[in-house]
Structure 1
Amino acid sequence: MFNEQIKVILYANDVRKASIFWQSLGFAEISFEELDGSQVAEVAMSENSTTHLVIYDRAFIEKNDDEVTEPSPALIFGSDDMMGLYKELQTKNVHLGDLAQIGEELVFNFVDADGNYFVVSGK
């Protein structure tokens, strides 16, 4: 049910500056958006890469959801069957966050046995 795309969340004090940094290392900027008064950038090693870095504004995230700004990066798994995966994880008694729609994508988080948060995003 998971697909091969993985997105790593990074928190930055200046999203534009962070995106420019990664671009200076040869990464491609996949997108740069304003969402709910904050900036979000997505960069990858190439346009075809299945691993992306999604850079969120640290202050915005801390203000709106301070329990997810871990010092280490977080993973966003991709899925082409979000409802099926969500239901499957429910049957396995995985601690799940609410399934929400953000733009055109569905998103939810889940917690592993150590309390680490992971995100799943897709359609």
Structure 2
Amino acid sequence: MINKIGQIMLYVNNQDASKEFWTEKLGFEVVAEESNGHMKWIEVAPKGAATSIVLHNKELVAKMNPGMNLGTPSLMYFTDNFDALYGDLKNKSIKVGDVVELPSGRVFNFADNEDNYFAVMEKK
């Protein structure tokens, strides 16, 4: 049986720029960086996280699997320090949306360097 989510595939136009965004702007770590011929993948994650994001070259994947959905997954991140994270992302000139109050808590979205949007929810 499945007992956890291991990796999430994120198909990007520029893997190196995306790696820089996730590591330098969001503080993720590079878990692995591997290549097989012209195919390269970069795995990044928050320190100690059970789930990672694997950055794949969108163009190469599209050539290998023409019918594959290469859209951005809808990811919701959790944080214990919502206000500090929101302020930090804004200070780093990352596109962030307004804070929205939901019955389950406060949430906002942000965009990476390729305008892929993700959400963050306050988790206490």
Q: TM-score range by the shorter chain?
A: 0.5 to 0.7
Counterpart of 2:46 in structure 1 is: 45
Equivalent residue runs for 1:16-95 within 5 Å: 16-24=16-24, 25-46=26-47, 48-73=48-73
> Quick check: 1:32–1:42 contact (8 Å CA) kept in 2?
yes
**TM (normalized to structure 1)?**
0.54
Task: Note closer, same or farther for the CA distance 1:14–1:28 as it changes in structure 2 (3 Å cut).
Answer: same
- How many residues end up aligned between the 2 structures? 74
Larger Rg: 2
Q: Structure 1: state its 5+ residue gaps.
A: 76-123
TM-score by length of 2: 0.53
Measure the CA separation in 2 of the matches of 1:4 and 1:22: 22
Q: Identity rate of aligned residues, in percent?
A: 26
Residue aligned with 1:10, SS: strand
Higher strand proportion (structure 1 or 2): 1
**Secondary structure of residue in 2 paired with 1:59:** helix
Tell me if the contact between 2:8 and 2:54 (Cα under 8 Å) persists in the aligned partners: yes
Contact 1:61/1:69 (<8 A) preserved: no
Structure 1 stretches of at least 4 aligned residues deviating more than 6 Å after TM superposition: none
Q: Give me the CA root mean square deviation.
A: 2.0
Q: In the aligned structure 2, how far is the partner of 1:35 from the partner of 1:3?
A: 29
- Shift of residue 74, structure 1, vs aligned partner: 8.3
